[in-house]
Structure 1
C-alpha cells in the first residue's frame, strides 16, 4: 500500500480530496510562450490554425488549437497527430511542434494531415497527467466525456468528418510515473498499484484488436536511427504488457478509452519516449517523436 499524502488508504477520493489535490498544483511553465507563440510562427503554406475549443478552467489562458489543411484532398489518405494528451509528457507537445515546423509541408504532398499539438494545456503548465478534476484525459475518450480535453477533441474530429487512415498519439513514460502518478492513481481510486519497471528507451503501443505489426516495426526501425529502443524486462514485458515485437506492446485502446482509440483508423500507434534516460536529451526526445511521425506517414502513403 503506497503512502500518498492525500486521502485514506483503501478509500476512494471524494470531492474534498480532489479539491485538496488540485490546491497543491502549481503553474510551472507557460503554454502561451512554449506552445502558442511557437505555433503562430510555424504554420506552413497550405495549412491554417483552427481554434476548436477552450478549457473551461480558464478559456482565455487555455484555447485549444489544431493545424489543418486549408483543403482536404479526397484522393489522399488522412492522418491525425496528437500530442500532450498527458500534459507533463513534454516531447509529445514539442515533438509535434517540431514536426509542424520542419516536416509537415513535405508530407502534405501525399497525405491530409491534422496536428493537435497540445490536447491538455493545463496539464502542460502544471506538469500533470490529470486535469484539474483529477481525471486522466487519456482514459476519458468516450461519449459525454467529463474531461473537456477529450470531449472537445472528439467533437473536432467528428466535425471534420474525414475517414482517417492513421492516428499517431505522442507520449512519454517517465520516472515520475512511479514516483508520483501511479501512487496518486492508487490513492484516488482506493486501490494498490505495484511499481513497474520504467523502460529505458523508446517503444510503441499498438491496438490489441488490430496491431498492424509491420506498421509498428516501420516506426521502431526509423526511431532506432535517432535513439535506443526499450528492451523488455526480465519477464519479457514492458510496463506490464507482453512485448509482441521489438519495442512494441499492445493495449486495447477503445476498451480503455484512450486517445488512440477515438478513431477507426486502420493504422494506430502510441509513441512512448523515455526522457529520464542517461542517454536522452530533450532534443533527442523531440527528434524521436518526429522520426516516428514521419515513418508512420511514409508507411501509409
Structure 2
C-alpha cells in the first residue's frame, strides 16, 4: 500500500511544494494551549529554579517564547545534565514527564548536578498535536548546522555552552498509533515516496546511539521504567520499529548523522525514550511517571559511572 492511495495532500510520487505545504497547513488547527498547559506549569517552578527564555518561535501571526529550567545554585564544579521534551510537540508525556521530573524530583539532585531542562522544544506542534513544525519540517531531524527548524536552532544555541561538558542528555519522546496512521504516511507524501506500513510496539523502549553505545546505561533506565510501565516486546522479526533489538527494550540509531536531538551535545551518556501512550495497559499518569523515572535513572547511573 502506498501513502498516496489515502493521504489527502499532494500528488502520488511527487514531493510537496509550497502549494501542498499550504494545503497541509490549512488542515491543522489549535487543539490545546501551550500557555495554559506548559507555561503555567513552568511559572509555578520559578520559586525553586531559575527559568530562562532561550528563544522565541516567530511564525506569521504567532510567537512562542521558549523556556528552560535550570538549577538555581549553578556550580561549575558539578557535572551538568540535560533533559529535553516535546521536540515532537504531539508527544504529550515528553513535555509533561519533563515537567513532572522537575516538580517532583529535581530538588533531589541539588548540589549533585547542574540541571538544564527544556520541557517543550516545539510549542507550535504541541498546540496542534503534530510531529512537524509550521514549515512541515521535523525538528528531530534538524539538529545540525544551519538547521531548517527554528525549534532545533534555538535549542542548539541554548546548549552550546554545555555541549562539550554535559555528562548526560536524555530526550523524552513517544511512539503513538498516529505515527502509523498519520505521520509516516504524511512523511512519505511530503517526500514523494511510498509508505510501507509498519508495526507500533506496545510498550516503552529506548534508542541508544549506535555511534557511541552505552548498553549498561540503557539497561539501568529500562530497569527503572519497568517498575512503572511495561517494556515493549520485539516483533516477529526480533525488531522494534524496523530496528534490531540489541537488549530488552533497546534499539540503536546514529544520533548525530540523523540530526536527532539526543546528539545535540557530546555527552557520554545519551538516550531517547519512547513511551506508548495508546496502550490499554498504560494511563497518561503512568506515561508521565515513566518519563520522570527514566530521567532519574539516567542521572543516577551517570553520576555513579562518570569516572
Instruction: Check whether the contact 1:78–1:162 (CA below 8 A) recurs between aligned residues.
Output: no
Which range moves more in the overlay, 141-150 or 49-58? 49-58
What is the CA-CA distance between 1:43 and the residue it aligns to?
3.7
- Where does 1:21-36 land on structure 2 (aligned, <5 Å)? 21-36=24-39
Gaps of 5+ in 2: none
1:113 aligns with 2:115: yes
Distance 2:288 2:245 in 1: 24
Instruction: Determine the structure 2 residue equivalent to 1:300.
Output: 302
- Where does 1:172-187 land on structure 2 (aligned, <5 Å)? 172-187=174-189
- Where does 1:70-81 land on structure 2 (aligned, <5 Å)? 70-81=72-83
Instruction: Determine the structure 2 residue equivalent to 1:88.
Output: 90
Pick the aligned partner of 1:14 from 17, 22, 35.
Answer: 17
Q: Cα RMSD (Å) of the superposition?
A: 1.3
For these two proteins, the number of residue pairs brought into alignment is 300
Instruction: Determine the structure 1 residue equivalent to 2:266.
Output: 264
- Where does 1:1-301 land on structure 2 (aligned, <5 Å)? 1-2=2-3, 3=5, 4-43=7-46, 45=48, 47-57=49-59, 61-159=63-161, 163-301=165-303
**Counterpart of 1:88 in 2: which secondary structure?**
coil
What is the CA-CA distance between 1:159 and the residue it aligns to?
4.0
TM-score normalised by length of structure 2: 0.95
**Counterpart of 1:300 in 2: which secondary structure?**
helix
Q: C-alpha offsets along residues 231-278 of structure 1, whole Å, 9 cap, x if unaligned? A: 000000000000001000000010100001111000000000000000
Identify if the C-alpha distance between structure 1 residues 60 and 128 changes in structure 2 by more than 3 Å, giving closer, same or farther.
closer
Q: C-alpha offsets along residues 147-181 of structure 1, whole Å, 9 cap, x if unaligned? A: 00000110111145661010000000000000000
Instruction: Check whether the contact 1:18–1:134 (CA below 8 A) recurs between aligned residues.
Output: yes
What is the CA-CA distance between 1:75 and the residue it aligns to?
2.5
Instruction: Check whether the contact 1:54–1:60 (CA below 8 A) recurs between aligned residues.
Output: no
Q: C-alpha offsets along residues 47-99 of structure 1, whole Å, 9 cap, x if unaligned? A: 21000111011686410000112343233211000000000000000001111
What is the CA-CA distance between 1:41 and the residue it aligns to?
0.6
Instruction: Check whether the contact 2:85–2:171 (CA below 8 A) recurs between aligned residues.
Output: yes
**Counterpart of 2:251 in 1: which secondary structure?**
strand
Which range moves more in the overlay, 53-62 or 230-239? 53-62
Distance 1:209 1:137 in 2: 21
**Counterpart of 2:59 in 1: which secondary structure?**
coil
What is the CA-CA distance between 1:194 and the residue it aligns to?
1.2
Which range moves more in the overlay, 173-182 or 154-163? 154-163
What is the CA-CA distance between 1:44 and the residue it aligns to?
5.5
**Counterpart of 2:124 in 1: which secondary structure?**
helix
Identify if the C-alpha distance between structure 1 residues 244 and 44 changes in structure 2 by more than 3 Å, giving closer, same or farther.
farther
Instruction: Check whether the contact 1:43–1:101 (CA below 8 A) recurs between aligned residues.
Output: no
Instruction: Check whether the contact 1:205–1:271 (CA below 8 A) recurs between aligned residues.
Output: yes
Instruction: Check whether the contact 1:84–1:170 (CA below 8 A) recurs between aligned residues.
Output: yes
What is the CA-CA distance between 1:23 and the residue it aligns to?
1.1
Instruction: Check whether the contact 2:164–2:265 (CA below 8 A) recurs between aligned residues.
Output: no
Gaps of 5+ in 1: none
